[in-house]
Amino acid sequence: MTTEELWKKYEEHMFRISAYNLVLSMVYFDNDTIAPTKGDEYRNERMAYMDGEQFSLQTDPEFIALMEELSKREDLDDTRRRIISWQLKDLDAIRNIPKELFVEYSQLSMESQQAWEKAKNANDYKLFEPYLLKIIEMSKRMLTYRHSDLKGYDILLSDFEPGMTIEKYDEFFSLIKRELVPLIRQISLKEKIDTSFTRRHYPKDLQKKLMYRILEYMHFDLEAGLLSETEHPFTNSISKYDNRITTHYYENNLMSSIYSVVHEAGHATYNYQVSDELAKTYVFDNMSSGMHESQSRLMENYLARRDSFWDNLFRDMKELFPEQLEGISQEDFVRAANATECSLIRTEADELTYPLHILIRYEIEKGIFDGSVDVNDLENVWNDKYEEYLGIRPQKASEGILQDVHWSGGSFGYFPTYALGSGYAAQFIKAMSRDLDIDECLSNDEFIKIKDWLREHIHKYGGLYSPSEQIRIATGEDFNPQYYIDYLKDKYTKLYDL
């Protein structure tokens, strides 16, 4: 068969996989947004079965042989070669796992997520603990099937962020600890920025209106996406033209929905701007987690916390909340949006303390996999670390170990990419500011220029390049976390008059 014919066969099989991807994504989205709880058991069993069907398609030996053959063909063009090579790399995570075990794990992780939600609502870690222990045990068992050059937690880290290892993360986080912990201490001695007005009553319906106004400003295409509600905000890109974001509205918190919506819109924009040529290929949605997070953080922190971002929006916000924001200027609002204070909830944390929340999770995960953390004592371990790094101790499990959904689904190795993404974003913003006057774009209601820059330098490639290649393409340099540190130090030194 010619290479072109082989590629056709590959695409036919990929179409089948994409059909299963589509229905499974939508069902998981439904599950996370609206599905009634009493239907869980019936649904879990059948979804696990469908996950198994999908698994069979993905790991079909003939299909893998076809890809391996393609990857040997010299006349395969570079784009196609990369596509195949990423897919083969990712396949390593599942290809040697027995299907039964895969289906068992899939069903366990659904049950475990449902147990997590119940435990969180009941504020009782004990309801979730047996599931977490099973998930940890299963995750370790899954690792025994991997044919990687790496070992243990390194394998998981590299699944979420190709090229990253414990060694490299240790270096990254020690820089963060060294540079940021003293800065946070210094700030804690200064006078606090007034954020009390952000805690007034902001009715959900009006918050929703504000969200659609912000999305409009960001040129978010609502014919190719939507905004929904969940316990834990997330983005699900079902296809280039179907990008779904969710948020959670707290009526006593103005900032939460704003920054979660901008954050998720950042993720959604990445997939929306993948080039048409790549949109139906494997690299539409295989970007590393750190790269994806860089795009959400860029919008959330590096754009939406600037004064100029609000030049076109603050007036609308005041119209929606005339009483709540009485006497509050745009400057007051932006200062509040940048205020820093040690707090318990990661998703509500400010830009400066955020990486410490990640550091805590990274250290615990590392300990789970090297055996240095007692898995039967995780709630205490969690609370102790919060006391150590942030000086505060969770009093409720829902504000402590139960706050995040990730572990319930077995996503170990994912958290560290959140801090890394913020680091990547600092470097991207630096590069962008060489080509664009960012404040002018924001102020002139030309967010589209920023989106265009991101599309041309990053988004259009999807996951065609490794994180380090992509960073070099967009910025002309290797990843350098110093940009991130410098940005935070500069910003907070000024904000708190240090």
Residues annotated as catalytic are 264
Interaction pattern, residues 2-21, with a second copy; x per rule: CB under 8 A: -------------xx-xxx-
Interaction pattern, residues 271-300, with a second copy; x per rule: CB under 8 A: ---------x--------------------
How many other CB atoms are there within 10 angstroms of residue 285's CB atom?
20
Q: Can residue 392 be called a binding residue for a second copy (CB under 8 A)?
A: no
H and E: helices and strands count for the chain: 21, 3
Shortest distance (Å) from residue 109 CB to a second copy: 17
Sequence-separated (6 or more) residues with CB below 8 Å from residue 489: 179, 183
Q: Can residue 206 be called a binding residue for a second copy (CB under 8 A)?
A: no
Nearest to 167 by CA among 184, 188, 185, 153: 153
Interaction pattern, residues 311-350, with a second copy; x per rule: CB under 8 A: ----------------------------------------
State how beta strands 235-239 and 225-229 pair. unpaired
Separation CA 405–CA 418 (nearest Å): 14
The residue (of 16 and 190) whose beta carbon lies closer to a second copy is: 16
DSSP state of 398: G
Separation CA 365–CA 325 (nearest Å): 42
Distances (CA, A) of 98 to 45, 57, 104, 149, 230: 18, 14, 10, 21, 33
Shortest distance (Å) from residue 104 CB to a second copy: 16
State how beta strands 242-247 and 235-239 pair. antiparallel
Q: Can residue 225 be called a binding residue for a second copy (CB under 8 A)?
A: yes
The residue (of 22 and 498) whose beta carbon lies closer to a second copy is: 22
Selected from 138, 181, 224, 436, the binder of a second copy by CB under 8 A is 224
The residue (of 212 and 241) whose beta carbon lies closer to a second copy is: 241
Nearest to 303 by CA among 256, 311, 239: 311
Q: Can residue 240 be called a binding residue for a second copy (CB under 8 A)?
A: yes
Q: Can residue 119 be called a binding residue for a second copy (CB under 8 A)?
A: no
Q: Can residue 49 be called a binding residue for a second copy (CB under 8 A)?
A: yes
Selected from 62, 100, 191, 223, the binder of a second copy by CB under 8 A is 223
Main-chain phi, psi angles of 34, to 5 degrees: -130, -15
Question: Which stretches of the chain bind a second copy, using CB under 8 A?
Answer: 15-16, 18-20, 22-24, 26-27, 29-30, 34-39, 41-43, 46-47, 49-50, 53, 205, 221-226, 228, 238-242, 280
